[in-house]
Amino acid sequence: MGHSPSISFAKFTAPKTGNVIVLAADGGTISERGQAVDPAGVLKKAFGIAEFTGKAASTVEVLAPQDTGFDRLVAIGAGSPDKLDEQLWLRLGGVAYPLASSAPTGTVILDLPDDEIASEMAATFALGMALRAYSFDKYKTKKGKEDDKGASAKAKKDARIVIQCADPAAAKKEFAAREAALEGANLARELVNEPANMLGPLEFADRARELEKLGVEVEILAEKDMKKLGMGALLGVAQGSPRGARLVVMQWKGGKAKKKPVAFIGKGVTFDTGGNSMKPVAGMEDMKGDMGGAAAVTGLMHTLAKRKAKVNAVGIIGLVENSVDGASQRPGDIVTSMSGQTIEVINTDAEGRLVLCDALWYCNDRFKPKFMIDLATLTGAVIVALGQNHAGLFSNDDELAERLAAAGSATGEKLWRLPLGEEYDKLLDSKNADMKNVGGRQAGAITAAQFLQRFVKDAAWAHLDIAGTAMGSPATDTNKSWGSGFGVRLLDRLVSDHYEG
């Protein structure tokens, strides 16, 4: 899946060949070990010519510097030391990746003053590199046409990258913990990028089944099982597709036996045509990514199991295709959810909430979890409200919401809280059933969240609307992929900060 570059850590030694990278602080200051690789001062000279001042994430490179065996000598700006936080270290790694890997070997001199955090920062930097390295090219038959235009240098996938730092063994250990999150994020990216002809509900369930190798217990419920449970809302969405429907229940039992699990629930619409309330042609291909929530939950379960997190975690994903066919549900149809509540389907394109309402109810009913967090590419309205740099956060629990927002700031997978309230909830009342599945033109992201809240009773719950962030968000220094893997690192951090041990 994807590609993980070769990254290792070593003690400081004079590099002989390949690309050599040093960091420069504000004002273009380079550490002593950085200066040592540039005795002739060619970098310093280049700083002046390029007007390089060490501004964070800016770069200068010198090609084939004289009297060295190097291909390139590169400086990356680290900015002012007091602003060098975790997010920036991650980003610097992303900036460095193509510059380090355009030669057979890339050496990064990470000479940090504060030894205590130096290993963590080196590992975070390495994670940034590895996140940047992912690209989705399995269906390109002509390899080698580089699509990474992020730098003048072209990344070579087989390059060996060495990060020189004060305590390589410690950095290696720190990086191993982060590699679990990298793998999870790359799994989510890969699932989102896969086209819907390759990845339908059954194929997705097979991919989730593979987590058994890591010790995750995986149960797969088919249509008849869901019918028995009364999941009429989820099955109503699936009924127009020949690709079937699955509910996958993943359990990672890394915590104490009696401890309540934390639960993550994902929307897995492997393609969303809108159904009879069909979507317009323009951009419909993006709806292959309408399983971004399920991808994040699957990636998270991979991560937790891989790093043997000391937590009991449940991941539940509802997998369906929202298709158009003689058998598809119609606007006006009334379905009965597992909760017993009836729903008038005004718009068959508001299908994600119909999938999630049964998955949430099932999760709460069966597991009585400590909290439930659902992730869904749920509404276009959240993109109108927040754009593509923050996901929408809704919650009935302030502590959970605050912890989520903090994990978002730390990982760069940012959240912004939007309100819930009775006035919004009322918009879902229906003439013909207990509720309708759309609220009207206003506050579309909020009424979608209100709909979900009708299925969580008094459980602590948060809903992340990742329609703008799971796919098609602007490329960053650490993500060049259409499917971003959003949510995996965020939730892994939430768990490791608050719910382990």
With CB cut-offs between 5 and 8 Å by kind, which of Mn ion, ligand BES, Zn ion, none does residue 194 bind? Answer: none
With CB cut-offs between 5 and 8 Å by kind, which of ligand BES, Mn ion, Zn ion, none does residue 380 bind? Answer: ligand BES
Residue 318 binds Zn ion (CB under 5 A): no
Q: Assess contact for 369 and 263: CB atoms under 8 A.
A: yes
**Which residues are CB-neighbours of 443 under 8 A, at least 6 positions away?**
381, 424, 427
The C-alpha atoms of residue 464 and residue 350 are separated, in whole angstroms, by 16
Q: Going residue by residue from 290 to 329, which x/- string records binding to ligand BES, judged by CB under 6 A? A: x---------------------------------------
Residue 347 binds ligand BES (CB under 6 A): yes
The C-alpha atoms of residue 187 and residue 253 are separated, in whole angstroms, by 21
Residue 290 binds Zn ion (CB under 5 A): yes
Judged by beta carbon, residue 79 or residue 236, the one nearer ligand BES is 236
Nearest residue to Mn ion, scored by beta-carbon proximity: 349
Q: Assess contact for 250 and 220: CB atoms under 8 A.
A: no
Neighbours of 197 (CB within 10 A): 11
DSSP structure string for 404-471? HHHHHHHHT--EEE----HHHHHTT--SSSSEES---SS-HHHHHHHHHHTTSTTS-EEEEE-TTTSB
Residue 350 binds ligand BES (CB under 6 A): yes
List the catalytic residue out of 288, 353, 414, 493.
353
Residue 290 CB, nearest approach to ligand BES (Å): 4
Q: Is 353 a catalytic residue?
A: yes
Site residues for Mn ion, window 346-365 (CB under 5 A)?
349, 351
Residue 351 CB, nearest approach to Mn ion (Å): 5
Site residues for Mn ion, window 265-304 (CB under 5 A)?
272
User: Which residues, in sequence order, are bridge partners of residue 471?
Assistant: 483
Measured CA distances, 454 to 214, 331, 348, 353, 437 (Å): 35, 21, 19, 11, 11
Angle at 210 between CA 205 and CA 212, to 5 degrees: 115
The C-alpha atoms of residue 367 and residue 370 are separated, in whole angstroms, by 9
Judged by beta carbon, residue 119 or residue 276, the one nearer Mn ion is 276
Q: Rule CB under 6 A: choose which of 28, 244, 331, 380 binds ligand BES.
A: 380
Residue 272 binds Zn ion (CB under 5 A): yes
Judged by beta carbon, residue 235 or residue 269, the one nearer Zn ion is 269
List the catalytic residue out of 33, 44, 279, 370.
279
Residue 381 binds ligand BES (CB under 6 A): yes
List phi, psi (to 5°) of 150: -75, -10
Residue 321 binds Zn ion (CB under 5 A): no
- Kindly list the residues in this chain that would bind ligand BES in the complex (CB under 6 A): 272, 290, 347, 349-352, 377-381, 438, 444, 467
